[in-house]
Structure formats: C-alpha cells, structure tokens
C-alpha cells in the first residue's frame, strides 16, 4: 500500500474536504473554468477573415466538412499552432477531430477550437492569469449532508431516449441529448424520474431545486454519476458542482429539463463562486 493510499481520509467530512480542495485546484488551472476569457464563433464563407477579441491574427472558417479554423498571422504575432510558429497561415483542428490542435499565444494565454452541432467552429481563449483567477476566493458549499445521499434505480433504455435540453445562451432552443436510462427513486413520498445524459464514462445530471437564486447559483447545478452493476446508482448530492457558466460568462451551459427540477431545497453540494472578499465573484 502506498503512503498516499494509507493517508486517504475515510471520514465523510474529510473526504468531502479533499474533493472540494481538488475542485478549487481544477477551476483555477491554466484551462480551468476561471481561465476562460473568450468563446468566439467564426462563421461565414470560407477564408472570410475575422479578428478575435483579445488575441492576434485573423481567423476564418474552413470549407464545409473540414474540422477547425484557419489563422493568418505574422511571425511577430507570436502564435504557435501545435508548437510551430505561424508565419503566414495555419489550420487549427477542432475538438471534433481525432487529433485536435492546440494554440499558444503567450506563457499564460492558450486556446483550442470547439465545434457546434451545426459544424460551426469557435475559438476558446484561456488565460492562466485571468482577472477571475486573480479575484477568486473560494467555492462556497453546504456542509456534508447525509440526507442527500440517495440510492436510486437505474433502468437502461434500449437505444436511449432523446430529451431536449435548453442552453443558457440559445434563446429557448433545445438540443437533443440521448438519455441511456431512467434514474428513479422515491424520497419523502415523492417519486422522481431523472434524465441524465452521457458525459464521458459518467452520466451528467443537470438539476435545479428551490435553493437556486437564493442560497445557490440561479441556473442550477450538475451531478456526475456512474450506474452500478447491480442496477442501482448512487446520487450523492454532496458532490453536486456548479456549472462552468457560474465561473465564466463565456460558457453556454445546459439548463435543467422539467423532470430534473426539484420542488424542494437540496442543501448539499456547491453553492456559489466567491471572490477573495467573500462576495459573489460575478
């Protein structure tokens, strides 16, 4: 057994404290949530060059079917794509490519290209010394609450079920997300059937409750869960996290669908992002 494993806490409060310390490390990382300073979509005809706020170079769409954006810059702009200095033009492959490109503007500023469902592309710009990182104080959170650790049933749905999720900046339009199974449980006499979509190896539950806009972030919160082999899934709301849009306005987060809106307060998990004066960061 390693020293690290031997030292791992087992007390629920200590486990939660370590989890929250790692969360704060993650959001202040060079490409953590607090480092995102711009997300700018580049659309239009191929080779229609456009500036992007905060970084040098001119950026243009690629022909339909090609992943990424083209950047045109002089060597003095000091843009590196895949560790090669751009002197002329270069292609930055999008995150939908098996080998996405990476961009470096300076020792602290970096970027990559994301894709939309409609095959449009945007540059995301990250600053490891952003104003938000400099002003960050902590993630406010509820104390450990065993009442909100729930063992639910997970019933797979053959082929999945499509649920429309609104996003914060989509003006009411919905994006279809595939729900691989039903998460059901009963608490305090109320039956719940929650929708969680795939997020890597886990399922992402986007939920709201009556604390939103009061003691917690108004948009809602996320909980990531993994079904157990015995057909259950553990919903530990102490591990509920704030969505990325709570840290930066440059994210566009999914909103809770109707079935994930609790009519009760869930006083567990993260609450709000605070600055170094103990006030709301934004």
Q: Among residues of the chain, what percentage have pLDDT more than 70? A: 97
pTM (2 d.p.): 0.92
Arithmetic mean of pLDDT over the chain? 95
pLDDT at residue 47 in the model? 85
**How is residue 58 written in tokens?**
């001119």
Element (H, E) at 22: helix 12-27
Q: Left, alpha or beta for 128 (phi > 0: left; psi -120 to 50: alpha)? A: alpha
pLDDT at 1 over 50: no
Rounded Cα distance between 37 and 60, Å, is 20
Angle at 163 between CA 162 and CA 164, to 5 degrees: 125
Query: What is the average pLDDT across 255-280?
Result: 96
Q: How many residues does the chain have?
A: 282
Give residue limits of the domains in the chain.
33-127, 138-275
**Eight-class DSSP state of 80:** E
pLDDT at 28 over 80: yes
């Amino acid at each position: 057994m390693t020293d690290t494993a031997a030292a791992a806490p087992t007390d629920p409060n200590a486990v939660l404290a370590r989890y929250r310390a790692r969360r704060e490390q993650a959001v202040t990382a060079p490409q953590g949530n607090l480092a995102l300073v711009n997300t700018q979509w580049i659309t239009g005809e191929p080779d229609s060059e456009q500036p992007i706020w905060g970084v040098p170079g001119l950026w243009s769409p690629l022909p339909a079917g090609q992943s990424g954006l083209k950047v045109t810059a002089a060597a003095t702009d000091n843009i590196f794509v895949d560790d090669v200095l751009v002197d002329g033009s270069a292609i930055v492959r999008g995150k939908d490519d098996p080998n996405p490109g990476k961009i470096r503007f300076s020792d602290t500023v970096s970027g990559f290209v994301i894709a939309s469902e409609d095959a449009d592309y945007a540059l995301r710009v990250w600053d490891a010394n952003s104003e938000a990182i400099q002003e960050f104080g902590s993630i406010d959170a509820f104390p450990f609450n065993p009442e909100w650790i729930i063992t639910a049933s997970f019933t797979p749905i053959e082929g999945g079920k499509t649920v429309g999720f609104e996003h914060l900046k989509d003006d009411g339009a919905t994006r279809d997300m595939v729900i691989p199974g039903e998460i059901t449980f009963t608490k305090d006499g109320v039956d719940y059937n929650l929708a969680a979509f795939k997020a890597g190896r886990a399922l992402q539950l986007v939920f709201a409750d009556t604390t939103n806009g009061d003691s917690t972030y108004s948009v809602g919160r996320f909980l990531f869960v993994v079904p157990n082999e015995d057909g259950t899934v553990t919903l530990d709301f102490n591990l509920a996290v704030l969505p990325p849009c709570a840290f930066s306005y440059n994210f566009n987060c999914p909103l809770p669908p109707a079935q994930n809106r609790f009519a009760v307060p869930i006083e567990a998990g993260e609450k709000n992002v605070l600055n170094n004066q103990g006030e709301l960061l934004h």
